Amino acid sequence: MNSNFWKAIKIWSQKPHVVNKRLAGVTVASSWKSPSSFTSFSDVVEKTAELNKVATERVADVITELKWEKESVWTDELPMNQDSNDCYLSLRKCIPKQPNRYQPVYELEFIDFKLNQAVYIPLLRNDETKDNLLPSCAYALSLADDKIHLEIHNDGESGAWIHNNVLPKLQKWFAEMDECDAIGAQSLRLVSFEAYNELYQHIKEKYVHNITSIWPECTDPQKFIHEDVAIAAYLIQLWRQESRELGLDVNYRQSFFDIGCGNGLLVYLLTCEGYPGKGIDIRARKIWSLYPPEVQLEVSTLSPSETTAFTEFDWLLGNHSDELTPWLPVMALQSSMQRSSDRLPTRFWVLPCCPFSFWGKFQREKFSGSSQSRYAEYLRFVAHVGETCGYRVEEDRMRIPSTRRTCFVGRTEQRSAEQWRPVASAKSQLIGGGGGGGDFKPRAAVEPVRNCTRVERSILDRIVELTVKNLLAAGSSAHVSGGQWNAGGTLVLGELVRLIGREFSDLHLLKSECGGIQTLLRNHSHIFVVEKKAVRLRSPLELSAQQWRSQQRPNNKKLKTQQTQQTQLEKTKTCWFFQRHPDGCPLTGDTCRYLHVDL
pLDDT of 432 above 90:
no
CATH class of 256-432: alpha beta
CA dist 343 and 314 (Å) reads 9
Q: Are 321 and 328 in contact (CB under 8 A)?
A: yes
pLDDT of 15 above 80:
yes
Q: How confident is the model at residue 127 (pLDDT cuts 50, 70, 90)?
A: low
| Cis peptide upstream of residue 79 (ω within 30 degrees of 0) | yes
Distances (CA, A) of 405 to 46, 73, 395, 449: 43, 26, 10, 27
Highest average pLDDT, of 127-136, 284-293, 429-438, comes from 284-293
pLDDT of 156 above 80:
no
What is the model's pLDDT at position 369? 56
What is the model's pLDDT at position 567? 40
Coil, helix or strand for 477?
A: strand
pLDDT tens per residue across span 446-457: 555 555 566 778
What is the model's pLDDT at position 451? 52
- What values do phi and psi take at 547, rounded to 5? -65, -40
Round the average pLDDT of the chain to a whole number and report it. 86
| Domain residue extents for the chain | 2-180, 256-432, 448-538, 544-599
pLDDT tens per residue across span 254-285: 999 999 999 999 999 999 999 999 999 999 99
- Closest listed residue to residue 541, CA positions, set 485, 475, 471, 495: 485
What is the model's pLDDT at position 421? 94
pLDDT tens per residue across span 182-204: 556 678 999 999 999 999 999 99
CA dist 43 and 87 (Å) reads 13
**Could you tell me the pTM of the whole model?**
0.73
For residue 378, the Cα-to-chain-centroid distance in whole angstroms is: 17
Q: How confident is the model at residue 76 (pLDDT cuts 50, 70, 90)?
A: low
